[in-house]
Chain A
Amino acid sequence: MFVMTASTWAAGLQVQGNVGKLIPVAIKGYTGEVAKVLAFDLQVMGCKMVPEADASYVLEGKNGAENLTGILRDNASNFGFNLNINGAAPRVLAHALSNATIKAITGQNGIAHTRILFTMKTAAREWEVFQSDFDGHNPVALTNDKSIVQNPMWMPNHGGLFYTSWMTIGGLQNTTVVKHNLQTGKREVFSRYKGLNTGGAMAPNGTVALILSKNKSTDVYLAPPKWEFLKDIKGENLIRLTRAREEKSSPTWSPDGQWLCFHTLIGGKHSLVKIPAGGGQMVSIPTKGAFRPTQPSWSPDGKWIAFTQQRGGFQIGVVPAAGGNAKIYCEGEDPAWASNSRNIIFTRRAGGVNKKRMAILDVPTEQVKMLPAFTGGVGQPAWQ
């Protein structure tokens, strides 16, 4: 952990609201990795790097081995802060300074300290789940199953995750939803019925949404809080939310846990729908102007649903959570929101089967930053 000391904080700095324009910022005095991290982080969160003369804000300071200073002022020479941060690796210190800068300029919390989950191809027919910093640095493999794995999803407290694995257990390869505790490293089979087992979207109250085909069609089921697969091998305590032959995929909860949104087909048409957590009628979420929407992701502030449109290639779209006019932003798929409800991480195909790279969209400014490429193609990022 790092220690941050502020001798001045937000003393009269001109604060910008959530405007849709890139904020011109100059950074002065930083070198090497720290300078790169600051620039990347600030650009992700809606800034553009400009010479000092053109800047609305100037961030100036020095970086040492385990120490970083920063003075922020606006172009009217009002001071934002005077910070001294130390006690951690340079990247960690730089992320902390980026967050402080965004907080001072916009009043919003930054996301530069957060982590992501994603899948990466590590060998022929082998994928593993990885965790890394939000910018793709410091990747750590969480699995070593040498199998297919898809759909890593955080638990709401970020202390663990669910994913869909094709691991062989007892001589049988079957899709399996795995629950993985990141504190203890303990893994357990969460769902392994005959047929498809995927999903693993946990609501704030601990209910887990699954997509299963145990009853001969892919349907949405809810596992109540504290439900255990091995104590319910027949699935008698699962709540079945849908009964239809059409495919269902990508369950995502409203942040209050009242609605579950997912993708399905209505009258043969790809659609986003939602269903009350207690069961009931499926409600359509219109995505006017979007083609073949799949992969919905509900924003943490509850206002928006991001999705993948398929028109020629794949594009990232956003629609109000109640439905309405969809806005298409850029080429990409697999969208997932950051905790600030303004950044979306996604993947973009880079030529060749299963070859994808990650990128981050800043929705208000529409700025896209590509993450560093990995040796293997990556997929399905999930943001802490």
Chain B
Amino acid sequence: MEENYKEKIMKRIALINATALGAAAMLLAVGCKTQKPVGLTTIPGQKTIVASNPNPLPVPTPIGGGEIPGGTTIPGGGLPSVNPNPIIQPINPNNAGLLNEQGQGFTGQEMEDREAFAALTVYFEYDSAAVHPDDFEKIKLVALHLIQNPTHLLLVEGHCDERGTEDYNLSLGERRALAVIDELSRMNVGAARLRTLSQGEKVPMMLGLDEQSFAENRRGEFVLLMPAQ
């Protein structure tokens, strides 16, 4: 990893944290009076803050740990001594299709962390599955984490606004998730560590029928999956 690239990422994380602080300060000042969000995940640093989350601020450490400039290792970070390709047997035979030919992939035994990459949710244009150029940096951060944490896996969820038929939105949500996976693969994250889940239009972040709500609903979310202890 080149030093200037690392610095760039650290700056980006600092920016995300600063934006989140700003948003929290705004929340204190004006309260939360817009439509109730219905998403399980938060988007710290963006317009929506889930009211039930007592602490909307992200933990001020680099995402997923790993080495920071200066060489200090963050606890919970990369575990380079672990075999990056463990052979895991599926618990349920119906999940066998989620493993690759070497038996690598998703077993259902992973621990799910929906907060780790909540600030890195990517957004799409109407009726488009093209990754927005502004979002490449976010995907790079996710890729960096996965490269530094070879035992971690990733689920990418694709979501749509409701301006499409249910059937089409299911396929569109999948294509969005696949487009993000494509980028991660290009950044050298192995295919066996990635999977997609389209939620179609069924899990909107915002319930409004206005362009702002639609824009927030057209998204790709990252769910980090870590090996069970």
Judge if B190 is at the interface, Cβ distance under 8 Å.
no
Task: Find residues 160-207 in chain B having any chain A CB closer than 8 Å to their own CB.
Answer: 162-168, 170-172, 174-175, 178, 181-182, 195-204, 207
Stretch at the interface among B13-21, B58-66, B88-96: B88-96
Residue in chain A with minimal CB distance to B174: A196
Q: Are B170 and A164 in contact (CB under 8 A)?
A: yes
Question: Contact check: which of B165, B172, B195 meets A295 at CB < 8 Å?
Answer: B165
Task: Find residues 215-256 in chain A having any chain B CB closer than 8 Å to their own CB.
Answer: 216-218, 229-230, 233-235, 245-250
A42-64 interface mask toward B, CB cutoff 8 Å, 1 = contact, 0 = none?
00000000000000000000000
The interface residues of chain A lying within 8 Å CB-to-CB of B98 are 172, 174, 192-194
The interface residues of chain A lying within 8 Å CB-to-CB of B106 are 172, 194
Q: Are B96 and A233 in contact (CB under 8 A)?
A: yes
In the complex, A106 Cα to B103 Cα: how many Å? 62
Closest Cβ of chain A to B217, distance in Å, is 9
Task: Find residues 90-112 in chain B having any chain A CB closer than 8 Å to their own CB.
Answer: 90-98, 101, 105-110
Q: Are B91 and A218 in contact (CB under 8 A)?
A: no
Q: Are B197 and A175 in contact (CB under 8 A)?
A: yes
The tally of residues in A whose CB lies under 8 Å from a CB in B reads 54
Residue in chain B with minimal CB distance to A251: B167
Residue in chain A with minimal CB distance to B209: A353
The interface residues of chain A lying within 8 Å CB-to-CB of B105 are 194
The interface residues of chain B lying within 8 Å CB-to-CB of A195 are 174, 178, 195-196
The interface residues of chain B lying within 8 Å CB-to-CB of A246 are 175
In the complex, A352 Cα to B93 Cα: how many Å? 40
Closest Cβ of chain B to A99, distance in Å, is 31
In the complex, A291 Cα to B191 Cα: how many Å? 37
Residue in chain A with minimal CB distance to B225: A172
Q: Are B165 and A217 in contact (CB under 8 A)?
A: no
Q: Are B165 and A308 in contact (CB under 8 A)?
A: yes
Judge if A150 is at the interface, Cβ distance under 8 Å.
yes
A81-108 interface mask toward B, CB cutoff 8 Å, 1 = contact, 0 = none?
0000000000000000000000000000
Q: Are B94 and A247 in contact (CB under 8 A)?
A: no
Q: Are B178 and A125 in contact (CB under 8 A)?
A: no
In the complex, A248 Cα to B178 Cα: how many Å? 14
Q: Could you say which of A166, A194, A216 has the most chain B C-beta atoms within 10 Å of its C-beta?
A: A194
Q: Are A127 and B202 in contact (CB under 8 A)?
A: yes
Q: A124-B38, A249-B171, A295-B165 are in contact. Are A150 and B97 (CB under 8 A)?
A: no
Q: Are A230 and B196 in contact (CB under 8 A)?
A: no
Residue in chain B with minimal CB distance to A198: B170
Judge if A379 is at the interface, Cβ distance under 8 Å.
yes
Q: Could you say which of A216, A247, A333, A380 has the most chain B C-beta atoms within 10 Å of its C-beta?
A: A247
B127-166 interface mask toward A, CB cutoff 8 Å, 1 = contact, 0 = none?
0010000000000000000000000000000000011111
The interface residues of chain A lying within 8 Å CB-to-CB of B200 are 148, 150
B interface residues (Cβ-Cβ under 8 A, vs A): 38, 90-98, 101, 105-110, 129, 162-168, 170-172, 174-175, 178, 181-182, 195-204, 207, 209
24 contacts between A and B (CB under 8 A): A125-B203, A150-B200, A170-B92, A170-B95, A170-B107, A171-B107, A171-B110, A172-B108, A193-B98, A194-B97, A198-B167, A213-B196, A229-B97, A230-B96, A233-B96, A247-B129, A249-B165, A250-B165, A263-B167, A263-B168, A294-B168, A295-B165, A310-B163, A333-B165
In the complex, A175 Cα to B170 Cα: how many Å? 10
Closest Cβ of chain A to B28, distance in Å, is 28
Q: Are A294 and B97 in contact (CB under 8 A)?
A: no
Q: Are B168 and A249 in contact (CB under 8 A)?
A: yes
Closest 3 CB pairs of A and B: A170-B92, A171-B108, A247-B171
Judge if A210 is at the interface, Cβ distance under 8 Å.
no
Closest Cβ of chain B to A200, distance in Å, is 12
Q: Are A218 and B175 in contact (CB under 8 A)?
A: yes
In the complex, A148 Cα to B168 Cα: how many Å? 16
A153-189 interface mask toward B, CB cutoff 8 Å, 1 = contact, 0 = none?
0000000000010100111111110000000000001
Residue in chain A with minimal CB distance to B181: A216
In the complex, A307 Cα to B180 Cα: how many Å? 30
A259-286 interface mask toward B, CB cutoff 8 Å, 1 = contact, 0 = none?
0000100000010000000000000000
Judge if A211 is at the interface, Cβ distance under 8 Å.
yes
Task: Find residues 111-166 in chain A having any chain B CB closer than 8 Å to their own CB.
Answer: 124-125, 127, 148, 150-151, 164, 166
Q: Are B94 and A196 in contact (CB under 8 A)?
A: no
Q: A217-B178, A308-B165, A353-B209 are in contact. Are A196 and B109 (CB under 8 A)?
A: no
The interface residues of chain A lying within 8 Å CB-to-CB of B175 are 217-218, 245-247
Closest Cβ of chain B to A332, distance in Å, is 11
The interface residues of chain A lying within 8 Å CB-to-CB of B165 are 249-250, 294-295, 308, 310, 314, 333-334
Q: A175-B197, A334-B165 are in contact. Are A170 and B202 (CB under 8 A)?
A: no
Closest Cβ of chain A to B194, distance in Å, is 9
Q: Are A171 and B109 in contact (CB under 8 A)?
A: yes
The interface residues of chain B lying within 8 Å CB-to-CB of A77 are none
Q: Are B167 and A294 in contact (CB under 8 A)?
A: yes
